[in-house]
Structure 1
Amino acid sequence: MKYIGKNLITALAITLPFQAASINLLKANTEFKNGQYDSAFSLYQEGAEVGSAHAYYQLGVMYSEGLGVKADPISSLIYFSLAADQKYHNAESVRDAMLAELDGEQLARVDELLGEFALRQHNEQQRYLPKIIEQNLDYKVTFNGSPALERKFFYDMTEIDSEIVFPVGVIVSRPAFLVVENDVATDGSVRHISKIQKTGYVNRYIDSYQLFPFAQPQFKGEPVEFVNRAYLGAATNDKFGLIEDLPRLYGETRKIVRTAKKSDTLEDQYEYAMSMVLFPWMEEQPHQAETLLKSLAVKGHPAAMYEYGLELYMEQKDIPEAIKWITEASKFGLARAEYRLGKLLMTSPWIEKDEKKALFWFESAMQKGHEAATLNAARIKITADNTSLRDIEGAMEYLELAEKSQHLNPEYFYLLALSYKDRPDRDFALAVKNLEQAIVMGNRTNWDTSEWEALLARMTRGKVTVTDYF
């Protein structure tokens, strides 16, 4: 490190201009393991741009060993130092060993320049990361006055008493198992359902589940959106019910437990934690699943980061910690975490709304095939308050991508209507037709479509031209 001052300045100059397009550290890890260092290096750079400690560490390794890039001890020191600031793995000891090789003058210069670099990196990352509204942390979301959402259980039953009325649920005769995650809109309706785990024929559950709105989420008296997990069919069973209805699933679950007790791999431990999340009766001590997920999150397991953060968020136990871990999972490029972070940036009462940041995370998730992220990205491009983000042609491309998966979603037709209204070759007739379709479909699934109906009334009142409304 003889020419440390010159080399470090050069390293600082060449590192910052990179701009992330999407994040996929899971793919980067695969490429790295397969010796595809050039592509891995580029993907790790994207992760470094949003402040991923894992990406910093891997870039430190690659610069140290000359993998996919010319060996450069100064750049290696930079990235190990950034990883050490987040206490990642053994980055602190690696950094300290490298610093120990420097004399006093060099060490002072390194400390100064590393401080400058870390500050510049921090400032760059603010383009992507959420900012918490501190004054809102003392308040919680309520649901028609209740502190928590009612957990909805959808049961399997082989015999039906026609006199029994089930306020929430679907009754079917063949057992199946389904856990879903969904958005809860301001009107309490179920939006953007994604399957977390399933066994058997589950479409019947989803078709019925979306018909039953939740209590309306509110924050300080104002409507907000929230997130929910629901357990359907055999997912509601106790141990003995699961053995009777789905013995194979029970056997697989017990196998996961046995494996985890003999293994210390992060993946085996994560499977064990999630088994306890799905089946609380498996816990041998209170909060065992939550404790294990937190431990795995700290050790760098991206899915555990998301599950732990989401659990904290849904329970409103520690909002800053919840947002931190959902963000950390997003930095890995975990699509469901990226989608959730995008939604939080648009709707969470504890995070400053930022359409540009949300669009980045939605687009990163859609690159990995996340269907709801594609639709939400299109919405921003059509309706953004920040007019610099509006891009009707780009939104049209996204809607085309979403058509196959979202053709039963009322929101898809609403956005399609807006796109026909605003696109260069606007088509008023198709705008009206698709808006009417959105309203009909929304009413069937108990959505509040009053805003759409008001728009339709403005568009079809009296003598209409394309610019007569809004």
Structure 2
Amino acid sequence: MFNNLITWLIIYFLLGCSWLAKADLYNATLAYQNTNYQSAFDEFTRLAKLGNADAMYNLGVMYLYGQGVDKSQADAFAWFSLAKDFGISEASQTAQLVLQQSSTPNSLKTFLKSQKVRLNSTYRLGATPSLLNTAQDDTNITKTHNVLPEYPKEAMRQGVEGWVWLEFDVDASGKVTNIDIVDSYPKHIFTASLLNAVEKWRYSGAKNSHTLIYHFTTYKGEQYQATFAIQKKTYEAQLRQNIDAAEQGVAQVQYYIANWLSMKDFNAYQLLRSHWRSENPADDLYVAAAKNGLDLAQYRIANVLLNSHSHKLGTLWLEHAANSMDVAKYRLASILLQKEPHDTKLAQAIELLEQASSQGHLRSILKLVSTHLEISKDLIQARKWLDKGLNLDSTHPHLLLLAAKLAKSSPQAKEFALQSLQEAQQRRWNTHAITQFLKELNHKHN
């Protein structure tokens, strides 16, 4: 059974090759080695702004020799110095050599100061590893009713392990609503089982954007330990390829290995852990993948920090993830809309929500319609996006309540509100907001 687990791991990483199309340190380095300097320079620049020390050092080399960019001793000195600050020890000697060879060393030092100011946000990102290790979840809700998801029989038979990452809201009655599937591995194997269970869960109170990463493991305990040595020898070569890929900067591999290392009961943990002996190898790899530009890792880190006391740093990572993830756009827009946003923040939030809503992200549509209804007072846009939401889910209680609030006549408003109430009761969602709306509607006509 363990053999099949490793087979899944190898097939996904090496044969699926989904990571080859993604921009990261490995692909940027490959472009450089193939003398595709412009592509390499662009990617190293993007990664350097994420706090990637290797990318900073490589930019220093490219500026020093004029590869993909005009030669510049000042830029080379600045990037070597920044790489040193981020932990590349050999960058210190290289920076000093550039400084010694310069006819204007003071101007190089002045330029370095300006670069450090410009990349101030990068320095805050550079503090992520230690903060991740100490971050504490400040959520105040607990699960009051639990139903364990069934392990799919075929996956159990084959020894396939994995995880599903969900994000959802919890209403005032403790019921899970508006579920987002952020990530799953292997795709589609465990998702349905977890969704069936989560819909039956109850929590102690309400919360928006609650994150759950549920691990499915077939850990065999003593039976596994008895065959550990044989399995390790058999699969050492294949695992070595994945380990090498992670160390070379393949962000997707770093992220998946981090997930395996985050759960000690995974069978794969026993083999992978021997290669990463630091105190928190999973955190280290999540950060590495994030600094290599992987949105999933960036969003994972943002969640950890946003649920602790590191909101400013968490928001920075969230901004990066929002470049490509609809759920991150939704979360960032929600932050921008807090505490009576001024016009600039409101415009930014609406733009983010529109981008995600246009891709069919239901939570973004709900937030966008509510924002236009309650804050921007743009009822035309509110109705436009409401129609899109109802096309996705015509029985969604929250959408139907919004339809009632946007109705052009009282009879129509009452009809939508009653539909909303019926659907909420069937789903066992909290109905307080709906009944309150109906009371106010009836009061107006009495």
Residue 169 of structure 1 corresponds to which residue in structure 2?
149
Task: Tell me the amino acid that sits aligned with residue 414 of structure 1.
Answer: L
Residue 346 of structure 2 corresponds to which residue in structure 1?
390
Deviation (angstroms), 1:101: 3.9
Structure 1: runs of 5+ lacking an equivalent: 1-22, 153-165, 243-250, 298-303, 307-324, 465-470
1:193 match: secondary structure? strand
Task: Tell me the amino acid that sits aligned with residue 437 of structure 1.
Answer: H
Choose the corresponding residue for 1:335, options 272, 291, 295.
Answer: 295
Question: Could you list the per-position Cα deviations for residues 125-171 of structure 1 after superposition, in whole angstroms to 9, with x for gaps in the alignment?
Answer: 47988999x9xx797647667xxx89x9xxxxxxxxxxxxx942336
Deviation (angstroms), 1:60: 0.6
Residue 113 of structure 1 corresponds to which residue in structure 2?
110
Residue 194 of structure 1 corresponds to which residue in structure 2?
182
Task: Tell me the amino acid that sits aligned with residue 265 of structure 1.
Answer: D
C-alpha distance in 2 between matches for 1:258 and 1:331? 27
For the pair 1:181 / 2:181, whether they are aligned, the reply is no
Question: Could you list the per-position Cα deviations for residues 68-115 of structure 1 after superposition, in whole angstroms to 9, with x for gaps in the alignment?
Answer: 111222311111111011112632232233345468xx65x2684266
1:47 match: secondary structure? helix
Residue 413 of structure 2 corresponds to which residue in structure 1?
none
Deviation (angstroms), 1:30: 5.3
For the pair 1:363 / 2:345, whether they are aligned, the reply is no
Deviation (angstroms), 1:438: 4.2
Determine if contact 2:299/2:321 at 8 Å carries over to the other structure: yes
Structure 1 residues 276 and 84: alpha-carbon distance in aligned structure 2, compared to 1, 3 A threshold: closer
Determine if contact 2:86/2:126 at 8 Å carries over to the other structure: no
2:285 match: secondary structure? helix
1:231 match: secondary structure? strand
Choose the corresponding residue for 2:327, options 338, 347, 372.
Answer: 372
Task: Tell me the amino acid that sits aligned with residue 70 of structure 2.
Answer: K
C-alpha distance in 1 between matches for 2:367 and 2:258? 39
Compute the TM-score of the two structures, normalised by the length of structure 1: 0.59
Task: Tell me the amino acid that sits aligned with residue 149 of structure 2.
Answer: G
1:417 match: secondary structure? helix
Determine if contact 1:276/1:283 at 8 Å carries over to the other structure: yes
C-alpha distance in 1 between matches for 2:354 and 2:204? 33
Deviation (angstroms), 1:181: 2.2
Residue 414 of structure 1 corresponds to which residue in structure 2?
366
C-alpha distance in 1 between matches for 2:101 and 2:43? 30
Residue 71 of structure 2 corresponds to which residue in structure 1?
71
Identity of aligned residues (%): 15
Deviation (angstroms), 1:198: 1.5
Deviation (angstroms), 1:228: 3.5
Determine if contact 1:383/1:390 at 8 Å carries over to the other structure: no
Task: Tell me the amino acid that sits aligned with residue 376 of structure 1.
Answer: R
Structure 1 residues 453 and 47: alpha-carbon distance in aligned structure 2, compared to 1, 3 A threshold: farther
Residue 12 of structure 1 corresponds to which residue in structure 2?
none
C-alpha distance in 1 between matches for 2:101 and 2:60? 17
Structure 1 residues 453 and 42: alpha-carbon distance in aligned structure 2, compared to 1, 3 A threshold: farther
C-alpha distance in 2 between matches for 1:172 and 1:77? 56
Compute the TM-score of the two structures, normalised by the length of structure 2: 0.61
Structure 1 residues 341 and 172: alpha-carbon distance in aligned structure 2, compared to 1, 3 A threshold: closer
Structure 2: runs of 5+ lacking an equivalent: 1-21, 225-229, 248-252, 399-419
Structure 1 residues 277 and 458: alpha-carbon distance in aligned structure 2, compared to 1, 3 A threshold: same
C-alpha distance in 2 between matches for 1:214 and 1:35? 57
Choose the corresponding residue for 2:277, options 288, 291, 294.
Answer: 291
2:186 match: secondary structure? strand
Deviation (angstroms), 1:267: 2.9
Structure 1 residues 79 and 344: alpha-carbon distance in aligned structure 2, compared to 1, 3 A threshold: same
Deviation (angstroms), 1:120: 1.3
1:194 match: secondary structure? strand
Cα root mean square deviation, aligned = 5.2
Structure 1 residues 428 and 255: alpha-carbon distance in aligned structure 2, compared to 1, 3 A threshold: same
Deviation (angstroms), 1:179: 0.8
C-alpha distance in 2 between matches for 1:267 and 1:31? 18
C-alpha distance in 2 between matches for 1:131 and 1:284? 26
Task: Tell me the amino acid that sits aligned with residue 238 of structure 2.
Answer: T
Matched positions, count: 369
C-alpha distance in 1 between matches for 2:44 and 2:183? 29
Structure 1 residues 32 and 454: alpha-carbon distance in aligned structure 2, compared to 1, 3 A threshold: farther
User: Going by fraction, where is helix more abundant, 1 or 2?
Assistant: 2
Residue 85 of structure 2 corresponds to which residue in structure 1?
85
Query: Which sits farther off after the overlay, 83-92 or 34-43?
Result: 34-43
C-alpha distance in 2 between matches for 1:459 and 1:41? 61
Deviation (angstroms), 1:206: 3.6
Determine if contact 1:130/1:352 at 8 Å carries over to the other structure: no
Deviation (angstroms), 1:118: 5.2
